[in-house]
Structure 1
């Protein structure tokens, strides 16, 4: 019998900065002026957006300052400049724009355009988080957890993850679920299953794999081989190595009511091994001894048709 992967859900992860969604804040200039810039931004004409935003930002409009900082940070329509982004984010942040506060905190946390300053990152993340910004809530929880002096996850970490998760933040949902599985003082398998499923339905491959594990063991959710198989397959489609290894074991042994299929098992093991999954490499090599030459050729043909994807 070829073994599946270990059955412990994954570690917490940190989301990198992405292009922001537009804030809902007050403005101090005629609305049409900002909406013109917003129109260009939405259409991808960032140079035109910059030409419209720059005078508005100079006049002190907070939203324009924030969006101008976004153009500079990501090099949209002009040369990227973290230093200029920091200047405009700071001005908008001081006027209370939560998205600018979160973006400024990110620059302090990563040392982009500013000297790295974790206390300042905390300060701005907290300001944005208290305004309900889910990315700031997530990042604040993550940084707080990383700076704990002991292994106990605080109520504050749990609260910020929870607030971001309830707003649909994918990785907050994942980390909250992982907290409910891994942290003894917060152990709650039902809540873990709930939040893994929320993240899984948003397409997050690691959540899909962990949800499959819970379904396979009946932890916090009614045991269902059918649902476990479904989520293993969804995760494997996105290149999740442990999910591919477990599917290999399922098809190699005929588990979960599936027909035994050594070719399919080899394909899953090989793809997982190519993603540096050590157990899958061992399983693939063991399976080689059972495959006839024609079956191995079939497996190789299938592998040639697969694009390499990686679960992130």
Structure 2
């Protein structure tokens, strides 16, 4: 039995079948399978949910610094799921995973550094990790990096680059980026001022459930005008 077979079982919704394969591989020391088994325990897929066993299997894979196990264990500590919440431990695990080029981990490190959660606040380091994550296609990283360039936090302020990053993220479906791009169009920041495009992006953002965009559209309906 192989990872490919387990992945096919999982994709087909046969979680019990996937669990059986991953359990066999995990017990034979396969860190990828150990991580997948931990994930199944964490989510109660194909087996009774057990955060304790999820943590145990992630920790087995972490012994050989398997990148995705580091990230998943970091999520448990970040959320306090099955363990005592500890942002410092979470940051350390995310950082190790980020160094091993896991895009979601790179984003989390950027976010934690931006906000000083579990670590000292450092905007320039935050920008570095957002950029690394964006290089690997993380749509949230494009948006958050755009905010740093818009506000000149940890990087030299650059409205054109900021608007470009917002557009990249918005084109991939990020509602926050659509809102931020609308702000750019409304104020002519990095793009030619265009109130129609501002409103278009605001509506797209609201359709995807962005709360700020909803509030602004409500104001438009109530007063006939809007302003970011």
Q: TM-score range by the shorter chain?
A: 0.7 to 0.9
Structure 2: distance between partners of 1:125 and 1:185: 21
Residue among 54, 79, 82 paired with 1:85: 54
Asked whether the 8 Å contact 1:137–1:164 carries over to 2, the reply is yes
Provide the alpha-carbon RMSD of the alignment. Answer: 2.4
Post-superposition shift, 1:58?
Answer: 0.7
Structure 2: distance between partners of 1:118 and 1:33: 35
Does residue 112 (structure 1) correspond to residue 69 (structure 2)? The answer is: no
Greater helix proportion: 2
Structure 1: distance between partners of 2:48 and 2:121: 44
Aligned residue number for residue 299 of structure 1: none
Secondary structure at the counterpart of residue 221 of structure 1: coil
Uncovered stretches (5+) of structure 1, i.e. residues with no partner: 1-31, 247-267, 270-279, 288-312
Post-superposition shift, 1:152?
Answer: 7.1
Aligned residue number for residue 208 of structure 2: 238
Does residue 154 (structure 1) correspond to residue 123 (structure 2)? The answer is: yes
Post-superposition shift, 1:245?
Answer: 5.2
Aligned residue number for residue 158 of structure 2: 188
Structure 2: distance between partners of 1:64 and 1:116: 26
Aligned residue number for residue 210 of structure 1: 180
Residues 221, 196 of structure 1: CA spacing in aligned structure 2 closer, same or farther, 3 A cutoff? same
Structure 2: distance between partners of 1:110 and 1:223: 41
Give the count of matched residue pairs. Answer: 222
Aligned residue number for residue 13 of structure 2: 44
Larger Rg computed on CA atoms: 1
Post-superposition shift, 1:179?
Answer: 1.3
Secondary structure at the counterpart of residue 181 of structure 1: helix
Post-superposition shift, 1:112?
Answer: 1.4
Post-superposition shift, 1:168?
Answer: 1.6
Residue among 126, 130, 150 paired with 2:95: 126
Aligned residue number for residue 103 of structure 1: 72
Aligned residue number for residue 112 of structure 2: 143
List aligned pairs for 1:51-70, cutoff 5 A.
51-70=20-39
Post-superposition shift, 1:135?
Answer: 0.7
Residue among 190, 209, 220 paired with 1:220: 190
Asked whether the 8 Å contact 2:115–2:121 carries over to 1, the reply is no
Runs of 4+ in 1 over 4 A off after TM superposition: none
Report the more deviating stretch, 35-44 or 113-122: 113-122
Uncovered stretches (5+) of structure 2, i.e. residues with no partner: none
Structure 2: distance between partners of 1:143 and 1:243: 25
